[in-house]
Amino acid sequence: MRSPDNPFRLPHSEAITSDLTFLRLFGPSILEALPDQDQWRQFRIFRSAAGGGKTSLLRLFSPSCLLRLYENRGTDDLRELFKKLKNLGVFEDDGPKLLGIFLSGVASYSSIEDLSIVESLKLRLFNSMVDARIAIGALIGVVELAGLKWPDDLHRISIEFSPGSSGTIPIGSDGKQLLDWAQGTELKIWSAIDSFSSPHVQAEIGHESIHMLNALSPSSIKVDGKEIVNHCVVMIDESWRLGQRQQQALKTHVLTTRPAIGLWLAERFEALDDKELFAGSNLIDRNVNPVVYLDSFWRNRKVFEDAANKRVRLAPNGTTTFADILGTAIDSSKYDHAFARAAQSSRNRMQALSKGALKYKTFLSRPLEADLSKREEAIELRSREILLERDSRKSQLSFDLDAGSEIDEKSTSDVRPMAEFFLCSETGTPYYYGMERLSDLASHNVHQFMFLATELFEEVLSRSVTSESQVLQPQDQERLLRRAASDKLSETLRSVSRRPAFRDFLRAFSEFAKMETTKPNAPYGAVTGFSITTEDHERLVRARSTRDSSGHKELADLLAACLVQNIFSAVTDRKQGKVGKTWTIFYLNRLLCLEMNLPLAYGGYRSKTLTELDKWMRLGRVTGTEDQELPYEDE
């Protein structure tokens, strides 16, 4: 039975009805996504996969949240957030100075897009609807910020639009007049939609452009004749649900007219065109104005830890930090014998590999550090074995020269993680545990992190009832994480079309990744991705843009769906090999790495041709190998 007291069951902003609870759970670190200079007048697209924190970021700047934060600015859990926002100019000593106009109701805009009328008229209706919604949202926000009563005090609000910028908006109107205009505009739009049989009506309705974005400015908004805000920003959540032409109209208007207020859009990858999509989850190379890739700001493990700590403090069991529940000590009494056997196996393999060569004598005879645990000793020996494997495979080795110092000078930082992974695989000891690996499993996505943390904390709450230890040992963490990952991935695969193709492609990738990763010399480290040339990348984009089913259109559609579903993420324009040669890398979601028993590091990948990938999709295995089952199958 799931506990109702699990604070990790509130990962979504829209699921938290209390503004104060939302603020207490909000992680201030994500504010680093905001540019330092004049962000309140800028056009921004906050882009991420589902669960990347877009709605939470926009909600923070709503009037109700800002007022609650100001009222509670002295509390320990909100002091840092208030300070950060004050430094951004959101607050002054007397209260909030930002009017955030939060728009949703995307279904209304979509209903316009679905009409069987000429595109120019659709756009006019859309512009009018946006104008009306901004006006109503601005009035609601001003009433809230100024502590007025709705609708009795609307006459105290004045919005002074500049002549020539307001279109049909009444210049010099008070709040009541503006509300009447906005509500009347919406009524005309819906009436017109119901009467499109008359061409005369069609020609007279709607706006040529979005007037409110240009007519509105912070200095134009007054209550009792006094300015109340310094900044104003319109925020449209779920903007990816708008029609393509509607999205383009918004972006074009803002970029060409440069209004005095900001426009922020929350956008998922599925809203992108094909060229953008294949670079949409690029976490390393792209963060170009006006697009802000929120996923890139979740790469810092401390951000996840801070977010988790905020939640555990709301729990009834007295836990203060999330790390307190994650045991990190491997039970030596249970596993030391296996570690000792693994250490001796490494010694034996190194002796056989050296074949008595003089050059390895010093390397093999070097003593281990004192006081190492059995596990650390086994990892150190496996690290040396990997280095010896790499060195022995070099064709230019000179066997009459002692190369011990040459091997010793090489940093073992790149091989130690692989040595640990090999050891865990060989001995059956836990690998996926601890705060660091839990953060890695999140794949730069806060919702994915919260999903996994929810399952771990659920176990802790269950134990608090039975007085068991509330510290989850490594083997318990790995068991729970595997179960959660399996459930999540089964859910994801059920939601995609052409499920057999997805299953076969992932089966083949799993086989390929394991073959490359488990080579004794670990030449590429943890292989958790594949790359294609930039030329092949462009071929996929072209294949998606034509109805011709020849070529690689099916593969392009599958990879695009993988990016949308966050099964893979793409990094573009990576330079490697010949001068001028660039690649696109597809990295597997870390949850799937757990399912496939792969390490969690990035950086390891191998190049593939489109033909090879197409065979993966069609055959479900690497060419020339036997079929291999994944942990999930068609039901």
**SS3 per residue for 153-219:** CHHHEEECCCCCCCCCCCCCEEHHHHHHHHHHHHHHHHHHHCCCCCHHHHHHCCCCCCCHHHHCCHH
- Please give the pLDDT value at position 195: 67
Supply the DSSP symbol for 472.
B
Statement to judge: residues 115 and 259 lie in one domain: yes
- Please give the pLDDT value at position 635: 34
Q: Select the more confidently predicted residue: 491 or 555.
A: 555
Statement to judge: residues 245 and 387 lie in one domain: no
- Please give the pLDDT value at position 478: 97
Distance of CA 635 to the CA centre of its chain: 29
Q: What DSSP letter does each residue of 488-508 carry, written as one string? A: HHHHHHHTSSSHHHHHHHHHH
Its pTM surpasses 0.85: no
Q: Is the pLDDT of residue 412 over 70?
A: no
Q: Compute the average pLDDT of residues 20-34.
A: 86
Q: Compute the average pLDDT of residues 207-221.
A: 88
Question: What is the distance between the alpha carbons of residues 380 and 449, in angstroms, rounded to a whole number?
Answer: 31
Q: Select the more confidently predicted residue: 188 or 591.
A: 591
Statement to judge: residues 337 and 262 lie in one domain: no
Let me know: does 268 contact 296? Beta carbons within 8 Å. no
Q: Is residue 490 part of a domain?
A: no
Supply the DSSP symbol for 13.
G
Statement to judge: residues 242 and 362 lie in one domain: no
Maximum Cα–Cα distance for the chain, whole Å? 96
State the number of CA atoms in the 13 A half-sphere of 478 facing the CB: 16
What is the total count of domains within the chain? 2
Position 164 confidence tier, pLDDT thresholds 50, 70, 90: low
Question: What is the distance between the alpha carbons of residues 171 and 158, in angstroms, rounded to a whole number?
Answer: 10
Q: Compute the average pLDDT of residues 198-225.
A: 78
- Please give the pLDDT value at position 576: 74
Q: Among 634, 627, 635, which residue's Cα sits nearest to residue 507?
A: 627
Type of residue at 244: Q
Q: Select the more confidently predicted residue: 431 or 170.
A: 431
Statement to judge: residues 67 and 200 lie in one domain: yes
Question: What is the distance between the alpha carbons of residues 454 and 155, in angstroms, rounded to a whole number?
Answer: 48
Which helix (H) or strand (E) covers residue 621, if one does?
none
Type of residue at 254: V
User: How do residues 84-136 score in pLDDT, each as one tens digit?
Assistant: 999 999 999 999 999 999 997 566 777 787 777 888 888 888 988 899 999 99
Statement to judge: residues 169 and 97 lie in one domain: yes
Q: Is the pLDDT of residue 630 over 90?
A: no
Which helix (H) or strand (E) covers residue 527, if one does?
strand 527-533
- Please give the pLDDT value at position 387: 92
Supply the DSSP symbol for 412.
-
Q: Which of 397, 427, 457 is the last residue of a domain?
A: 427
Q: Is residue 32 part of a domain?
A: no
What is the number of residues in the chain? Answer: 635
Question: What is the distance between the alpha carbons of residues 420 and 378, in angstroms, rounded to a whole number?
Answer: 9
Q: Compute the average pLDDT of residues 260-278.
A: 74
Q: Choose from 118-132, 393-407, 424-438, 579-593 the range with maximum mean pLDDT.
A: 424-438
Supply the DSSP symbol for 136.
H
Q: Select the more confidently predicted residue: 397 or 528.
A: 528
Q: Among 300, 367, 327, 260, which residue's Cα sits nearest to residue 42?
A: 260
Q: Is the pLDDT of residue 428 over 70?
A: yes
Q: Which of 373, 406, 427 is the last residue of a domain?
A: 427
Supply the DSSP symbol for 620.
S
Q: Is residue 560 part of a domain?
A: no
Statement to judge: residues 227 and 338 lie in one domain: no
Q: Is residue 354 part of a domain?
A: yes
User: How do residues 297-348 score in pLDDT, each as one tens digit?
Assistant: 777 788 888 888 888 888 876 777 899 899 999 988 899 999 999 999 999 9
Statement to judge: residues 157 and 52 lie in one domain: yes
Statement to judge: residues 261 and 346 lie in one domain: no
Statement to judge: residues 77 and 221 lie in one domain: yes
- Domain region containing 97: 39-271
Alpha helices, DSSP H, located in 221-331: 244-257, 274-277, 301-312
Statement to judge: residues 213 and 344 lie in one domain: no
Q: Is residue 154 part of a domain?
A: yes
Q: Is residue 438 part of a domain?
A: no
Position 287 confidence tier, pLDDT thresholds 50, 70, 90: very low
Q: Is residue 82 part of a domain?
A: yes
Q: Is residue 226 part of a domain?
A: yes
Q: Is the pLDDT of residue 285 over 80?
A: no
Q: Which of 427, 457, 488 is the last residue of a domain?
A: 427
Mean of per-residue pLDDT scores for the chain: 84
* Percentage, residues of the chain above pLDDT 90: 44
Q: Among 409, 432, 422, which residue's Cα sits nearest to residue 484?
A: 432
Q: What sign for the dihedral angle of Cα 37, 39, 42, 45?
A: positive
Q: Select the more confidently predicted residue: 19 or 392.
A: 19
Q: Is the pLDDT of residue 597 over 90?
A: yes
Question: What is the distance between the alpha carbons of residues 576 and 605, in angstroms, rounded to a whole number?
Answer: 12
Position 37 confidence tier, pLDDT thresholds 50, 70, 90: low
- The residues near 392 (Cβ < 8 Å, ≥ 6 apart) are 353, 354
Q: Is the pLDDT of residue 434 over 70?
A: yes
Question: What is the distance between the alpha carbons of residues 569 and 565, in angstroms, rounded to a whole number?
Answer: 9
Phi/psi of residue 559, nearest 5 degrees: -65, -35
Q: Among 241, 245, 237, which residue's Cα sits nearest to residue 110?
A: 241
Count of H-run helices and E-run strands, the chain: 25, 15
- Please give the pLDDT value at position 581: 83
User: How do residues 49-85 score in pLDDT, each as one tens digit?
Assistant: 777 888 899 999 999 999 999 999 999 989 999 999 9
Statement to judge: residues 58 and 187 lie in one domain: yes
Position 439 confidence tier, pLDDT thresholds 50, 70, 90: very high
Distances (CA, A) of 413 to 320, 410, 419: 33, 9, 10
- When mean pLDDT is compared across 220-234, 260-274, 363-377, 491-505, the lowest value belongs to 260-274
> Which tokens belong to 290?
């006006």
Phi/psi of residue 37, nearest 5 degrees: -110, 125
Q: Select the more confidently predicted residue: 202 or 591.
A: 591
Q: How far apart are the first and last CA of the chain?
A: 26
